[in-house]
Amino acid sequence: MPPATDLGWWGVVIAVLGGAARVSTPYLFVSLGETLTEKSGRVNLGLEGTLVMGAMSAYAVAYLSGSPWLGVLVAGAAGAAFGLLHGGVSTLPRVNDIAVGIALFLLGTGLAFYLGKPFIEPVAPRLPHVALGAWSASPQIRAALEVNALFVVGAVLAPLLLWGLGHTRWGLVVRTAGDNADAAKALGYSVGAVRTLSTMAGGFLAGVGGSFLSLYYPGTWNEGLSSGQGLMAIALVIFARWNPIHCFWVSLLFGGATALGPALQSVGIASNYYLYGAAPYVLTLILLIASSSPRHALAGAPSELTISK
């Protein structure tokens, strides 16, 4: 690789754009999964635990088997298992899905730390990337456009999920269970089963999101790997108004904002780095306030959600 040339402020722009693609993928997968789950009328707050569990199991399996894609699959399966647990327990009478979610959040992270101990030191094979920037002579642009296949999958999944929820039979069933449980029952569907399956699918996606963290970027397993990405992604769902396409843009925005601080610091703007660290959260708050309206406060919110009841 030839030595990088000085790009100055363009370097900041490229770093933010590249960072958006690099950092956003876990947010994207978790928020898409949670959108599906919430559309069915359940909230799964345990996805942070699922994400960490996915990251750990993906890393462990990739290391042991030598195949990162097998790791991704196992991460998804682990996520689905957590989803099954959440869905199954929440289906029992008088069980609150938010409380179950918090319990599974703690269980997931705790279990991942416990089982992941032997895998902190080894180096697992990394997921491959697509070199979209191969045309460019600039190493910076090439690096920024190294896009992981999972990001592409997520980007395709977002419109697919939107279409599926709106235009297919199973989408209608999921939305019915989420908007009016009695109507779903009247149609002959088991609300509990629909919600459990949706939570499993959501857990699968969150697990895959975790595998991106450990197998691609930052590409390691340790106990501080997720700094609350799973929790933040759940908040992003509300921000995205339960719309998968919005989830995609919001995740990108969040990723870009995360990259802004480091990019500015690397050109020598060094003061207030704690403030830059908070940039994604501040940005989310500002946009949330700006986009809020007293008339349609929770537009798009499934009406069976514990939080909207």
Partner 1 sequence: MSDVTLTRRHIVTGTAGLLAASGLTSLLPGPEARAAVKPLTVGFIYVGPKNDYGWNQAHAVAAKKIARLEGVKLIEQENVPETVEVEKVMEGMIRHDGAKAVFATSFGYWPNVLKLAPKHPDVLFVHIGALWKEGDPKNTIGYRGYMEEPHYLCGVAAGHATRTGKIGFIGSKPLYFIFNNANGFILGARAVNPSITCQVVITGDWNNPVREAEVTNSLIDQGVDVIVANVDSAKVVVENAERRGIGTCGYHTDVSELAPKGFLTGAEWNWAAGAQFVKAWQTGGSYPNLLRGGFRQDMVAISPFGRSVSAEVRSKILKIRQGFIDDTFKLYQGPLKDNEGNVILKEGQVIANDDNKFKLAVNFLVEGAIGKTGLKK
Nearest CA to 98 among 178, 55, 41, 181?
41
Local structure of 177: helix, strand or coil = helix
Nearer to partner 1, 77 or 279 (CB): 279
Nearer to partner 1, 180 or 220 (CB): 220
* C-alpha–C-alpha distance, residues 37 and 43, integer Å: 7
User: How many other CB atoms are found less than 10 A from the CB of residue 287?
Assistant: 13
Q: How far is the CB of 194 from partner 1 (least distance, A)?
A: 35
**Residue owning tokens 């396409």:** 245
Nearest CA to 251 among 17, 44, 31, 49?
31
Q: Which residues bind partner 1 (CB under 8 A)?
A: 1, 3-7, 11-12, 14-15, 18-19, 22-23, 113, 117, 120-121, 123, 126, 139-140, 143-144, 213, 217-220, 222-225, 227, 229, 258-259, 261-263, 265-268, 270-271, 273-274, 277
Compute and round to an integer the Cα radius of gyration of the chain: 20
Q: How far is the CB of 118 from partner 1 (least distance, A)?
A: 8
Q: How far is the CB of 203 from partner 1 (least distance, A)?
A: 22
Nearer to partner 1, 188 or 224 (CB): 224
Q: How far is the CB of 231 from partner 1 (least distance, A)?
A: 14
**Prior bond to 218 cis, omega within 30?**
yes
Nearer to partner 1, 10 or 163 (CB): 10
DSSP state for residue 33 in the 8-state scheme: H
Nearer to partner 1, 119 or 242 (CB): 119
Q: How far is the CB of 127 from partner 1 (least distance, A)?
A: 12
